[in-house]
Structure 1
Amino acid sequence: MDVQPIERPAGSFQQPVSADRIQAVCRRALGPDTRVVSAVEMGLGMYNTTYRVTVEGVTRPVIVRFAPAPDRQFVSERELMRNEYATLPHLAKIAPLMPRVIAADWSHELVDRDYMVQTLLDGVPAAEGLSTYPRRSRTGFFRQVGEIARTVHAVRGTRFGPVAGPAYDTWSQAVTASLHDIAADLDGLGLDAADLRKAAALAVEHAAVLDGITEPRLLSGDLWTVNIMIAADAPEPVISGVFDLDRTLWGDPAADWPIRMAASKRDERVAFWEAYGERDESPAAVWRSLIYEIRHLGAVRLERHRLGGAVGDSYDAVAAVLAELT
């Protein structure tokens, strides 16, 4: 078997999987006579370890994704792959855009990590492919992202929080718990989490504002260019697939990542709102959006640290938002 891992420093968060484990996983998922020809690690993702696997006698490769080992997962990112799998029945409206799950295994019998085997999506990653188009032609892409986000946000739930749980009766409880989880993760890394705890205290103090959200809606969690495929060689960007929606939760659509990203710049991405609809700019909605921004910044701080990046500027960013809240 030809295995092509990504070379990373020793101790990196993403850990490779041996050739014999990949072979064993594919035999369980695809049949006992399966013979893996090659496994090429794909580098776009920053959480799971993902391989494009070619199987003897099968024309189309499959994708094999391994979650981090349980002892390497943050509290705020626990069992994300299981959360993604639990979300699939709620994403039927965008099923044609998503990879099909061939097998999912949480048993840890073959490898001490959760894994999924999925079909390969057509197209090229939007994070790379968009740069080949002139900026003026990218508005259609962001309009499509708005349509997908609107479709996902139309799905109704019954309780708040991650799709796979834990579930909360109110939105304020879910938001506060999320902030506390991120703070606990920062503590575990030896990083200051006082600003996240201050935000959590404000969420409790102003629970009535957060609980103006009474109907849980499905949030994609991470829908943006890094998790989107576009058609190859199309005259304009056309979305051909979405993937890795593992941070889904039930809550306020305004707290979703694509809302934050669409609002972050006044460039071609403003076309997002043409398809999605207008934002709620009431005082209560603006206050909630500031709490959501701190939650996003806390999650970004964790991710940057995990990847070996600097986190100092995130403290200044959170301080600026806290100043607006208080």
Structure 2
Amino acid sequence: MDFRSIPRDPHAFQQPVTAEDIQRIGRRAFGSTARVTSAVELGGGMYNTTYRITLGGETEPVILRVAPSPERQFASEHELMRNEYASVPYLATVGDLMPRVLFADWSQEIAGRDWMVQSHLNGVPAPDRLGAYSRDLWPGFFAQLGEIAARVHAVRGPHFGPVAGPGHPTWGAAVVASLTAIADDVSRLGLDAADLRKVADIAGDHREALNEITEPCLLTGDLWTVNTMLDPHSPEPVITGVLDLDRTLFGDPDADWTIRMATAKEDERTAFWDTYGPRHLSPAATWRGLVYEARHVGAIRLERHRLHNTDGVRDTYQLVAAVLAQLT
């Protein structure tokens, strides 16, 4: 087998599996006679370990994604791969853009980790292709993102919180639980989580503003440029695929990472709203947006720590302080 892994520090968060593990995965997913002839680890993602694999007798590759071992996962990011798997029926509205799940295994009998095999999406990652286009064509890309987000946000769920659970009866309870889980993870790392706990307390004290959200809408959790594929031959940016939606949850669309990114700058991304639709921000919605920003920054703090980005971790404290200055 042609086996290629990305060289990584032994202490890095992402860790490879062995060639033997991949052969065992191939046999479990495709039958006892299956043989993997090629397994190439792909970069770009920062959470799961991903391989493009080819099986003997097959011309089309498939994608193998292997979750981090359970002890490496933050409580606030518990079993994200299982959450993505549970989200597939709800994401049917964008099913034409998403990879198909071919096999999933939560037994952890192979490598002690969850894994999933998906169909291979054609195209090239948007971060590798978008910059090749003239910037006057970029609004078309962001308009497509707006249309995709609108389709997802139109889906309703049975509870508030992560798609796979735990579910909450109100949006306020889900937000406070999420903030608390992130703060607990930060504390377990030996970092100061007092700022995030203060936001959680404020959110709890004013949960009536959060509970104005009564419909649990499906949120992508992580959709932006890095999660899209583009047609490599089109004269203008055309989204051909959407992937890695493992942070899906039910709640307020304004709490989605996609909305945060769409509002981050006044540039080509303003075309997002042409297809998504206008926002009507009440004082309560503006207040909720501050709570959501603290939640996003808390998750960023965890990710930057995972990537050993000390300066980036430090910067998050200034960002949360700015939020608290407006909340209090």
Instruction: Please give the range of the TM-score, normalised by the shorter of the 2 chains.
Output: over 0.9
* Secondary structure of the corresponding residue to residue 76 of structure 1: helix
Q: Counterpart of 2:315?
A: 313
Identical-pair percentage: 62
- Counterpart of 2:161, as a letter, is G
Q: Counterpart of 2:265?
A: 265
**Are the equivalent residues in 2 in contact too, given 1:162–1:250 (CA < 8 A)?**
yes
TM (norm. structure 2) is 0.98
**Are the equivalent residues in 2 in contact too, given 1:66–1:116 (CA < 8 A)?**
yes
Q: Counterpart of 1:14?
A: 14
Inter-partner Cα distance in structure 2 for 1:192 and 1:128? 36
* Secondary structure of the corresponding residue to residue 223 of structure 1: coil
Q: Counterpart of 1:186?
A: 186
Q: Counterpart of 1:201?
A: 201
* Secondary structure of the corresponding residue to residue 147 of structure 1: helix
**Are the equivalent residues in 2 in contact too, given 1:158–1:215 (CA < 8 A)?**
no
Comparing 3-12 and 183-192, the one that deviates more: 3-12
Inter-partner Cα distance in structure 1 for 2:99 and 2:120? 6
Q: What are the within-5 Å matches in structure 2 for residues 1-326 of structure 1? A: 1-310=1-310, 311-326=313-328
**Are the equivalent residues in 2 in contact too, given 1:218–1:253 (CA < 8 A)?**
yes
- Counterpart of 2:63, as a letter, is I
* Secondary structure of the corresponding residue to residue 213 of structure 1: coil
* Secondary structure of the corresponding residue to residue 262 of structure 2: helix
- Counterpart of 1:318, as a letter, is V
Structure 1: 4+ residue segments shifted above 2 A: none
Query: How big is the shift at 1:158?
Result: 2.3
* Secondary structure of the corresponding residue to residue 304 of structure 2: helix
- Provide, for residues 214-239 of structure 1, a one-character-per-residue CA deviation record: whole Å limited to 9, x for no partner: 11000000001111101112100000
- Counterpart of 2:177, as a letter, is A
Inter-partner Cα distance in structure 1 for 2:98 and 2:170? 30
Comparing 53-62 and 14-23, the one that deviates more: 53-62
Query: How big is the shift at 1:110?
Result: 2.0
* Secondary structure of the corresponding residue to residue 63 of structure 1: strand
Inter-partner Cα distance in structure 1 for 2:110 and 2:40? 20
Inter-partner Cα distance in structure 1 for 2:26 and 2:278? 46
- Provide, for residues 33-83 of structure 1, a one-character-per-residue CA deviation record: whole Å limited to 9, x for no partner: 111111111111100000011212110111000000111100000000000
- Counterpart of 1:60, as a letter, is E
- Counterpart of 1:66, as a letter, is V
- Counterpart of 1:109, as a letter, is E
- For structure 1, the 5+ residue unaligned runs are none
Comparing 253-262 and 35-44, the one that deviates more: 35-44
**Are the equivalent residues in 2 in contact too, given 1:228–1:239 (CA < 8 A)?**
yes
Equivalent pairs, count: 326
**Alignment RMSD, CA only?**
0.7
**Are the equivalent residues in 2 in contact too, given 1:27–1:35 (CA < 8 A)?**
yes
